[in-house]
Chains A and B, each alone.
Chain A
Amino acid sequence: MMNPIIHARGLTRRFGDFTAVDHLDIDVLPGSIFAFLGANGSGKSTTIRMLIGILRPTEGTIEVDGIDVIRRPRLVRDHIGYMGQRVSLYRGLSLRENVEFYAGLYNLSGAELERRWGALRERFSLGETEDEKAEDLPVGIRQRAGLALSTLHQPRVLFLDEPTTGVDVHNRGLFWELIQDEAKAGVTVFVTTHFLEEVEYCDWVCFIDAGRLIANDEPEALRRRYSAGYRIDIELPPEACDPAKALIRAAGHPVERTSIGLQLRVPELGAGTLATFERIAASHAGTIRIEQAPMTDVFRQVLAESGRPT
């Protein structure tokens, strides 16, 4: 098994009497997209500030890319990129001038900067707006520019705090394709969001509430645990029901007759189950509809079971 690239143990932060983060254990595997979720005020931002080395924990240990963040907070900065909801671009400077400013912070210049920025500009579709002043950039483009700037120095880990808040649905889609590209290239992405449907893009989900971990698993595992899983309705001519039923039973699932055909519930949709559906659809001209619980419902259930009044 791979060693985690973010590894925190007993992470705790108190502000006076108030405990914002309460003994969190976090492990993030390299190259994964890790969704860090929680209600407003649950301690998400405080946790991120500790992980990136700008806030000292009251207790606990943090290692990011092999670096002890608490003892060497400055060193970790070369290994990580950070982007918040409000992208820090200097007003009055064009996007290009902002790039040069940030590149300077990472000692990136000349041909190396041209090569790096040239590639990002292309991939992030920023060429047309390079000469516009930061304050004139539409939100969607500004957030993409923020992501480009936070990856300029090719960090191994990206921390993105609500990167898609205020971004329209089209640009959110583009943004997530870029995040997935980064992950595919081996970058680890630690991301927060209130658009819970975005969890579908992530490999792992961690929910916190009142500074404590309340769920920590793969999205599918959470769906299995905190919802009724998948409900499948199969519309079939009556004579096709028995053979279809046999196929589904052979795949290991109980199934019931309904007025339109068959219905079953499965905790997860494995390759075998999907292949069975395809066989039924192909051979019996049936219509199959799969219903899954939306992530908002899963999230509500996680909170309800954690004992929080909702």
Chain B
Amino acid sequence: MSSSEHGDGGQQDVIRLRGLEKRFGRRSALAGVDLTLGGQQIVGIVGPDGAGKTTLIRSLAGLLEIEAAEAEVLGYDLRADVGELKAHIGYMPQAFSLHRDLSVIENLRFTARLHRLETSAFTRRAEELLKRTQLAPFADRPAGALSGGMKQKLAIANALLVCPDLLLLDEPTAGVDVVARTDIWDLLQRERRRTLVLLSTGYLDEAAACDRLVYLDHGRVVATGTPAELRESVRLDAYRAWGDDPRAIAREARRLPYVAGARPTGRYARIDVGRPAPAPEQVLRDLVSLAHTEVRFAEPIPVDMESTLLALARRAGRQTAAQLAPTTQ
């Protein structure tokens, strides 16, 4: 497959969207998405349940009829005939959608034939992918009899088979263990050298490992940037308060007027403070003297991905409320 007519690597935009909308009946799933992305990076689509992540990925794969001021993928217009575009895209849906009664290698061969891949090219590519996904020993096992993690790996191998110019993966690692996730990410890091890899994920460590994140909420892009840029953009200070009853600590911390959020874990509570914030010494003093519970020790900590995503969700919630306010008056 030649990609020469569709740009050369990272220079050209792979995705250009302006005002992309998608409605399902009366429900608006995408409400004006603006997004421009170039190649050779791993871009993570993040956001709460129902934000429109799956609809965006399906739109980009040319599977939905959409409306937009501009909607170009690999130089093809999503509003026109997308038949040819689909040949250049590797897409993996959220639900396992390969043939359960075909073996691992038969599934791959089936995809290769649909794409008219030559036998020698198929053999080479399939061998390489089976090796890298560690599925080689299971090549003859029916896909339906694979474990959850192996099914996901097969689906990814299937999406990668024809060396696509754009990879669209909808929660490729949902329900996958940490070791298999590492294998999958090694594979994606390698693909990233040639293409744009766009994926959605619920894992915080994966979001932090993306080159770029697109935060979606209520069908709109609320924020984009590198993980570090997003962490900085939420303007938070984070603290950790250790004690015997972290749930009580979180509950009491939420009463402090400047606390944006507090989450208990087994041994401590994480406390997020929105800027402009009191000086750290003041926050630490307030935390160790919380009423109705004992904080043994409190410390400032770096803002993590969990705090970042929760803060973006809070901010998007406020934005929506502000947008709705005039019409409800």
A131 within 8 A of partner (CB): no
Interface residue count on the A side (C-beta < 8 Å): 50
**B310:A169 contact, CB within 8 angstroms:** yes
**B179:A303 contact, CB within 8 angstroms:** yes
**B179:A39 contact, CB within 8 angstroms:** yes
C-alpha spacing A272/B244, complex, angstroms: 12
A299 within 8 A of partner (CB): yes
What mask results when residues 231 to 261 of chain B are scored 1 for a CB within 8 Å of chain A, else 0?
0000000001010100100000000000000
**Which residue from chain B places its CB closest to the CB of A199 in the assembled complex?**
B266
Q: How far is the CB of B113 from chain A (nearest CB, A)?
A: 29
Q: How far is the CB of A217 from chain B (nearest CB, A)?
A: 14
Residue ranges of A at the interface with B (Cβ–Cβ < 8 Å) = 38-42, 85, 138-141, 162, 165-171, 173, 177, 180, 194-197, 200-203, 219-220, 269, 271, 274-275, 277-278, 281-282, 285, 287-290, 294, 296, 299-300, 303, 310
A278 in contact with B150 given A202-B266, A269-B267 (CB within 8 Å) = no
Chain A residues near B310 (CB, 8 Å)? 169-170, 173
Interface residue count on the B side (C-beta < 8 Å): 43
Chain A residues near B281 (CB, 8 Å)? 285
| Besides A167-B202, A177-B264, 14 other A-B contacts (C-beta < 8 A) | A38-B177, A41-B147, A138-B50, A140-B48, A166-B175, A170-B313, A195-B203, A197-B204, A200-B265, A201-B265, A219-B266, A278-B297, A281-B284, A287-B299
The residue that A194 contacts in the complex, of B177, B244, B300, with Cβ under 8 A, is B177
**B174:A165 contact, CB within 8 angstroms:** yes
User: Can you show 7 pairs from A to B with CB atoms below 8 A apart?
Assistant: A168-B47, A170-B309, A170-B313, A269-B242, A271-B244, A274-B297, A282-B288
Chain A residues near B202 (CB, 8 Å)? 166-169
Q: How far is the CB of B199 from chain A (nearest CB, A)?
A: 14
B178 within 8 A of partner (CB): yes
Q: How far is the CB of A83 from chain B (nearest CB, A)?
A: 15
**B204:A169 contact, CB within 8 angstroms:** yes
A170 in contact with B266 given A289-B301, A290-B299 (CB within 8 Å) = no
